[in-house]
Structure 1
């Protein structure tokens, strides 16, 4: 086997040397600088270049040689197209572009705005992609179409058709009834007045420059991407032929040695290869996400800044499934909580979920994300600091951090209502519907006034507002809080009602406090906690005597129990929405009906239990 491998290595080595020796010198070029200065845009590098060195890049930015560093820099995306102002260039080959001509036309509702078309060119070297772009159709005659998903706006002697708000995007297939019309693509922003396209078109947009696979491979190997006279791609090299041959020989010899080693350590190397591929995929997934969300109003910190704000992780607040949480301070003195993530699981899904979900929110009962760090293998999330920590330390008898503090019935009810409002906001109040999938006391943080805030969106899923049902591979969440349909689709579909179930289990714990339950009848089941709660409801017993100060407190606790039991109904369609939960908790107890038992509970049938 070793002899055969050596023979194969020799053949590969021989062929590569012959091929390199036969190659002509057309690819020899002069060296280009690794980066160049472009005024207020800072130092840029390939694929960008300045107008005085056009051969050193693929996207030429004009005005870099201007002595005034604050002067506008411009770029021409299309051949013979007009110049556009570059406001920002980041390290992920993404530009923030401003079209001043289009802005003037939008401000004055000028129909000339629809004469533009941002259908950007592609080549064998690179392509341009606008992050948010919509397809519109410019028609010289009024169409008689029956398509309610399209809107029409008349502009001079033309009609402009565009899809409904939920369908605004770049279309690949043009509907047949628009044949004969001009298809145009224009950048968009979130519509403030959807009936007026001048209000939701945007003159500021993000353009991503993507290298072709061949060009990227060429650049990473030290070459430069070129087109010959026939328009075919070739990789120009800056090294002499002799150096290239020697380099190739040395590389192939090294590869040959590696191949021989693999015969002995095949299993270990396969595992290592798989691990490296997974890490590479994780890194690429996160990089792609950050490129597409460059305009998020969340600060990105370096790892050194994270270490500085936490004083090298001196004060540890807690440990979660995805990493430790440390107390820190921003330069202005504002206290923060910094979560340092462990090695990413699921291609960096939990890191992406946190930023993607929480960046879309702004609610008093959802924790605020102030910044993040993504630097090599170091990942961190910076949150507002919650002085009272998580809810779990106040509702478990033997919690090591409980600090002998007993929450009153009024405070427990306030927390239950606040969490319900936060979930209702996530389900209905955002531009997109956010399903949390890990509601539990550990993920409810309390500020100095015990106002609750939902945190830890690592398992969340995002879907359109008009869609609730989601598809998932396998269960996600924490045992004891996971809805039955998440385990098995035989119980129903996975939707926002799965969060309702987790919420119900949580508020039953808040009232019952598990370890505090003092049951006067036989209740030996430890596998399904609501069994014990139902027993107490049957016997009209007080579930949390330590928290009940008066009749008003008793009524609050009973409402939370009834609402919790409604939330954990086995059939998702029998559970209320979170908006319904808020109304139930804030309404009178007389308006509440005791729910049927989930069939997972086998105690006797409840018959008119007293709830007064």
Structure 2
């Protein structure tokens, strides 16, 4: 302490000081260098303290007694003045926790809490499972594409797909697995782009398409130009075929007339060659499982090309039986053994059946409107047409040129050979091509629509199918 400075000239302020430092008060006219320490600095000025405070016996000792809140604070509550009290500084204690319904809410929380936890756990598990499956699907596709690089269809980014389609401005069609848009490459080549619906399947259709159609090159199989696998967005880029699908032409008499029977015969032969190539011309046998008029596209010269390999399966050429966990294909074209193993094993003969139904559709549709007075719901068109041919009766088909009737008859008979109920009784596609290209009309096959005792099989369940099942099978998608 400096003896030259009066004792009252500075004081440590106890409530603001600590063991490490002191906060002291000095008079405004005192000099800091006169203090007993050199590491102090001025904090702030206090202008409103009366001088008498500094002359008091206990200077700067401040206290107050009202309102009294220490009792409330001692119990963990808060203190406030009573608004309606006439007593000055009259206080009351209050709690910051809500009163009243709190116990009820606590009980509700105790009951609903575990239930909510269970629901959250279930939701979290579903999200986790969905995310896990999605990641596994993406990894499966990426691994496939790594293995596939040597085959080299172009891989596009999703931004490229948007640019090629002019932001998806021209829609060509839509199906269960995606939407098809028209696009144009930089070299003015037109393409058809199928943007896959990512809510369907687990990537199997994408891999089937790229893994089968990308490996083969045949004049009667649509060409895969490229693909997109950009995150969850997937698309397939095909060559563009301007004349749409075969279904557009054979769905009406006018459309069939527009093509003509010679052209329809040519289309049938080329399709048979395309399917034969899938069955025998590739390293592995490719079973399409969805041969139908919608999946036959026509180029600018009306040459057919098989498309949509999303349901295809690959197997070795030595493998005669294919295992399947569920039926695949389009109702009306699906072979009977795909529905029930009572008819035989699933094999490449299942594509033969679908092709036979397509031939009959090319002739006149899968249903016949002119049923000779019978209820048409009871007439299965292949059965009706077999009976007409077997009995030598005329079939009302529009014929324009000499020789067209021979083509029509050939298409019908070959179709009936292909749709024999048991796979072993159907010809291979190689034999089908021979029958279609032969100058002679093939002989009639055995009647698959009657049992061994000659009764109508549609009315019996003798190891085959009922009438209602026939109607379901004959309905096209």
TM-score by length of 2: 0.67
> Aligned to 1:289, which of 133, 136, 144?
144
Q: What is aligned with 1:586?
A: 437
Distance 1:462 1:566 in 2: 25
Matches within 5 A, 1:42-81: none
The correspondence for 1:564, drawn from 402, 406, 415, is 415
Counterpart pick for 2:222 among 360, 363, 367: 367
Deviation at 1:567, TM superposition (A): 0.4
Cα deviations across residues 93-129 of structure 1 (Å, max 9, x unaligned)?
Answer: xxxxxxxxxxxxxxxxxxxxxxxxxxxxxxxxxxxxx
Please name the residue that 2:296 is paired with: 444
The 3-state SS of whatever aligns with 2:308 is coil
Does residue 328 in structure 1 map to residue 178 in structure 2? no
| Match for residue 123 of structure 2 among 265, 268, 279 | 268
Separation in 2 of the partners of 1:347 and 1:364?
30
User: What is aligned with 1:92?
Assistant: none
Indicate yes or no: 2:382 matched with 1:530: yes
1:525, distance to aligned residue in structure 2 (A): 4.0
SS of corresponding position for 1:340:
strand
Q: 8 Å contact 1:511–1:543 — kept in the other structure?
A: no
The structure with more strand, counted as a fraction of residues: 1
Give unpaired runs (5+ residues) of structure 2: 1-113, 458-477
Residue 262 to residue 580, structure 1, CA distance change in 2 (3 Å): farther
User: Equivalent of 1:555, from 387, 406, 416?
Assistant: 406
Q: Structure 1 residues 542, 551: closer, same or farther in 2, change over 3 A?
A: farther
Aligned partner of 1:347 in structure 2 is 202
Which of 333, 336, 342 aligns to 1:484? It is: 336
Q: Does residue 495 of the first structure (1) align with residue 347 of the second (2)?
A: yes
State the match for 1:301 in structure 2: 156
Is structure 2 residue 279 aligned with structure 1 residue 424?
no
Instruction: Return the TM-score normalized by structure 1.
Output: 0.53
Distance 1:543 1:568, change over 3 A: same
The answer to whether the 8 A contact 1:517-1:543 is kept is: no
CA shift digits 1:106-162 (9 cap, x unpaired): xxxxxxxxxxxxxxxxxxxxxxxxxxxxxxxxxxxxxxxxxxxxxxxxxxxxxxxxx
- The alpha-carbon deviation at position 542 of structure 1 amounts to 5.2
1:380 aligns with 2:380: no
Shift of 1:536: 3.1
**Aligned mates of 2:300, 2:316 — CA distance in 1:** 34
- Structure possessing the higher relative contact order (Cα contacts under 8 Å, 6 or more residues apart): 2
1:139-154 alignment, distance < 5 Å: none
Shift of 1:396: 1.5
User: Residues 529 and 567 (structure 1 numbering): CA distance in 2 closer, same or farther, change over 3 Å?
Assistant: same
Q: Is the 8 A contact 1:500 1:568 kept in 2?
A: yes
Once the two structures are TM-superposed, the CA of residue 366 in structure 1 deviates from its matched residue by 0.4
1:449 is displaced (CA, Å) by 1.1
How far apart are 1:529 and its partner, in Å?
Answer: 3.2
> What is aligned with 2:305?
453
- Indicate whether 1:279 and 2:130 are aligned: no
SS in 2 for 1:559: helix
Correspondence for 1:225: none
Contact 2:241 2:297 in 1 (8 A): yes
Give the secondary structure class of the aligned counterpart of 2:149.
coil
Q: What displacement does 1:267 show? A: 3.4
Over aligned residues, Cα RMSD in angstroms? 2.5
Aligned to 1:356: 211
2:166 maps to which residue?
A: 311
2:411·2:436 contact (CA, 8 Å) conserved in 1? yes
Alpha-carbon distance change, 371 to 503 in structure 1, aligned in 2, over 3 angstroms = same
For residues 542 and 392 of structure 1, do their structure 2 counterparts lie closer, same or farther at Cα, with a shift above 3 Å needed? farther
Q: Give secondary structure in 2 for the equivalent of 1:534.
A: helix
Asked if the contact 1:560–1:585 (Cα under 8 Å) also holds between the matched residues in 2, the reply is: yes
For 1:558 and 1:480, the matched residues in 2 are separated by: 21
Whole-Å Cα distance in 1 between the matches of residues 135 and 378 of structure 2? 44
Q: Structure 1 CA distance, aligned partners of 2:394 and 2:358?
A: 18
Larger radius of gyration: 2
Aligned length: 343
CA offset digits 1:432-454 (Å, max 9, x no partner):
11000000001000011110000
Residues 344, 351 of structure 1: 8 Å contact kept: no
Task: Judge conservation of contact 2:368–2:376 (CA < 8 Å) in 1.
Answer: no
Give the 3-state SS of the residue equivalent to 2:140 in structure 1. helix
Q: Any gaps of 5 or more consecutive residues in structure 1? A: 1-258, 606-612
Q: Secondary structure at the match of 1:550?
A: coil
Matches within 5 A, 1:215-254: none
